[in-house]
Amino acid sequence: MTRWRHDGVLITGGTGSLGRALVPALLAAGVPRLAIYSRGEHAQVAMQGDLENDPRLRFFIGDVRDRERLRRAMAGVDVLIHAAALKHVTTCEYNPREAVLTNVVGAQNIVDAAIDAGVRCVLIVSTDKAVQPENFYGATKMCAEKIFVQGNAYAGDGPTRLAAVRYGNVVGSRGSVVEVWRKQRASGRISITDPSATRFWISLEQAAGFVLSCADRMQGGEVFVPKLPATTVADLARAVAPDCVWDLSGLRAGEKLHEILISANETGAVWDLGDRYAILTPFATWAAWKNPPWEGAIRCSPGLRIASDIADRVPEEVLEAWGRA
Ligand SMILES: NC(=O)c1ccc[n+]([C@@H]2O[C@H](COP(=O)([O-])OP(=O)(O)OC[C@H]3O[C@@H](n4cnc5c(N)ncnc54)[C@H](OP(=O)(O)O)[C@@H]3O)[C@@H](O)[C@H]2O)c1
């Protein structure tokens, strides 16, 4: 669906971990214009310098809570990747109002402004925590996912199509447990919630590649889910911080023992596209949603459940590589 060499692209949250991986990839793909939208001035200036003031970049200071600013930023945009969010479970638990305003109201603002501006392809980055959410972060991301998918109905006959990508924890992203352990390991002690908990993992490069390939393939109304391996927290800790003493705290408020990428109760049909799944909600825009346009797509049996306690394990050599990083 996308033609990067001709498309103007906007990334909300473009200065974050994912944005930092997406931006060089998009510049390398030849985008003519790439806008970053976020609040922090310092992060934008630093990024501008790191990318040697590439003339294709535009930096918009703005909050996703601000509709007027979003409307201005979307002029001339063909593809929008919505990555801005409050993403820490504990932060959202403690500041529910702020989480709603940024993650839920912000998502609705993006959808409304994108439809009004005629942005063609609009993709939100979601999380496994949005599936059967136990914490406030997950609940806000579930709302945001649904706001996006349902946005197709409001786009009507206009050019805008909206979809979501949903994946697990990103290795080494800002504030991730791997980043925390890498900082702590020199001290000989690391903090661990529950060693038996399991999580899905994806690298930043894989996440960026996945998002861009979904922007290419989306028709409107899908939730794309990559096929990801998982680890126990214990195995990950042994790889990233071997020989360290564990300070055990127990799961934090709202944390699950195991995560779910696709629940057996997802509304809609799940299709296997080889390297990923596409969940087609009843709000998928294309008339032929029972016969999707992706070559080789196979419809999964109803009740498919993808959970981190039963998923394939992250291969040993990959764990070792994360440990060395
Ligand atoms: N990291 C993970 O493990 C993971 C896993 C699954 C899904 N996700 C999702 O992936 C997306 C990107 O995650 P990330 O790891 O790149 O996050 P991140 O590193 O924390 O970056 C968040 C970005 O959003 C911006 N932002 C925050 N609040 C904003 C607001 N109100 N208005 C405008 N911009 C705002 C931040 O910049 P300012 O603070 O300067 O505004 C920053 O650029 C998020 O939607 C997250 O839910 C992340």
The first and second tokens of residue 30, run together, are 């030849």
- Does the pLDDT of residue 23 top 70, yes or no? yes
Q: Which atom of ligand 1 is nearest to the CA of 38?
A: 34
64 Cβ below 6 A of ligand 1: yes
- Does the pLDDT of residue 146 top 90, yes or no? yes
Predicted pLDDT at 295: 87
Residue 1 pLDDT class (50, 70, 90 cuts): low
Q: What is the dihedral of CA 218, 105, 18, 247, to 10 degrees?
A: -130
Strands (E), the chain: 8-12, 33-38, 57-61, 79-82, 121-127, 161-167, 169-171, 189-192, 198-203, 222-226, 230-232, 245-248, 260-262, 269-272, 276-280, 298-299, 306-307
The alpha-helical segments, DSSP class H, found in 51-176 are 67-73, 89-94, 96-99, 106-117, 136-155
Q: Which of 11, 38, 206 maximizes ligand 1 atoms within 8 Å of its Cβ, making it the mutation to test the pocket?
A: 38
Q: Which atom of ligand 1 is nearest to the CA of 129?
A: 6
Q: Provide the β-strand partners of residue 33.
A: 8
* Class of the domain covering 8-169+201-227+267-306: alpha beta
- At residue 200, the 3 state secondary structure works out as strand
Predicted pLDDT at 285: 58
Predicted pLDDT at 289: 59
Average pLDDT score over residue span 264-283: 88
Q: Which of 87, 129, 146, 256 is an active site residue?
A: 129
- Does the pLDDT of residue 291 top 80, yes or no? no
Whether 109 contacts 64, CB under 8 Å: yes
Angle between helices 316-324 and 233-240 (to 10 degrees): 50
Q: Which atom of ligand 1 is nearest to the CA of 128?
A: 6
- At residue 12, the 3 state secondary structure works out as strand
Q: What is the DSSP letter of 44?
A: H
pLDDT in tens, 166-192: 999 999 899 899 999 999 999 999 999
CA dist 87 and 264 (Å) reads 25
Q: How many CB atoms lie within 10 A of CB 186?
A: 9
Enumerate the domain spans of the chain. 8-169+201-227+267-306
Distance from residue 313's CA to the centre of ligand 1 (Å): 27
Nearest CA to ligand 1 atom 7: 127
pLDDT in tens, 98-139: 999 999 999 999 999 999 999 999 999 999 999 999 999 999
Distance from residue 101's CA to the centre of ligand 1 (Å): 14
- Does the pLDDT of residue 288 top 60, yes or no? no
Q: Which atom of ligand 1 is nearest to the CA of 101?
A: 31
Q: What is the dihedral of CA 177, 103, 276, 319, to 10 degrees?
A: -10
Which of 149-153, 168-172, 284-288 is predicted with the least confidence, judged by mean pLDDT? 284-288
- Does the pLDDT of residue 287 top 60, yes or no? no
pLDDT in tens, 157-168: 899 999 999 999
Whether 141 sits among the annotated catalytic residues: the reply is no
Distance from residue 38's CA to the centre of ligand 1 (Å): 9
Average pLDDT score over residue span 67-87: 97
Residue 290 pLDDT class (50, 70, 90 cuts): low
18 Cβ below 6 A of ligand 1: yes
